[in-house]
Amino acid sequence: MGLFRRGPKKAEGSEAADVVEAPAASTAGQDDAPADDAPAPTAGAPTGDAARVGPWDAGDALPELPRVDLGAIQLPGVAGMEVRLEVDKATNVVSAASVLLEGSSLQVQAFAAPRTEGIWDEIREEIAQSITQQGGTVDDLPGPFGRELLARLPVRTPEGRTGHRPARFIGADGPRWFLRGVLTGKAAVEPDAARALEDLFGQIVVVRGQDPRPPRDLLALKLPEGAPTPPAPQDAGTPAPQGGQAPRFQPPARGPEITEIG
């Protein structure tokens, strides 16, 4: 597992890979038509029992995997990944975890949900409306966790022109909780690049707790207690410890959310 970070730093090279420059001229109503620079949709949803085995609830019989305890989310470890914990600007609460892996990023957040029904359908509509109002475009497509959104978020390029950054919004309704993921970078447009982060999302464990909470109440995250520091430098010829590099945690920093969900 790579280094754990807390703050707004992006993966090296991800900015250039994320932004697709928009055409110089555009007219109203073109958002509904496929754009030449729009990313290709990802593959359709698989079928059968193997299509989806998670995310998991803390009360489930869980597959035995090494996981990092972040409070409301238990995050599986993947070789080479880096993790950043983000702080909500309004509440100063640790609100999201972002996994950086091979030029892609997965941001995850957990929320309380009603006991009797899921909220992903409703939230998906709100996200789509918000992105469209900001000048982006959205497609509602099938994916490995059900319906998902393939969005093109409006951004400003270094040259001062308008561009679009692709992002995939995925979600999972659980017992009294909802888990949202946002894939950016290569994973937003390349199915092969997305597979490792999709597998990670499917192995997340959500710890809802028994306290009564209103729907959409954020399930706050935390820095794991006793987080280890990086190992001391090794002399040449000294074998490295098994299990990869120990995670390193830095002081919290505020990071912007990709979108609000109301």
- 50-95 pLDDT, tens digit each: 344 689 999 988 878 889 999 999 999 888 999 999 988 888 888 8
SS3 28: coil
Separation between Cα atoms, residue 82 and residue 71, nearest integer Å = 18
Which among 131, 224, 158 has a CA at the least distance from the CA of 19?
158
For the CA atoms of the chain, what is the radius of gyration? Answer: 19
DSSP 32: G
Q: What pLDDT score does 160 carry?
A: 86
Closest CA to 104 of 221, 234, 15: 15
How far apart CA 205 and CA 221 sit, in angstroms, is: 13
Distance CA 223, CA 191 (A): 31
Output the pLDDT for position 139: 97
Q: In this structure, are strands 177-185 and 4-5 parallel, antiparallel, or unpaired?
A: unpaired
pLDDT at 63: 79
Q: Which residues of the chain have pLDDT under 50?
A: 1-52, 227-262
CA angle 50, 204, 215 (to 5 degrees): 110
Beta bridge partners of 164: 20, 154
Phi (first) and psi of residue 7, to 5 degrees: 150, 180
Q: What is the DSSP letter of 119?
A: -
Query: Residue 255's pLDDT is what?
Result: 41
Give me the sign of the Cα torsion angle 209, 70, 153, 172. negative
- Amino acid 15: pLDDT: 36
CA distance 61 to 58: 8
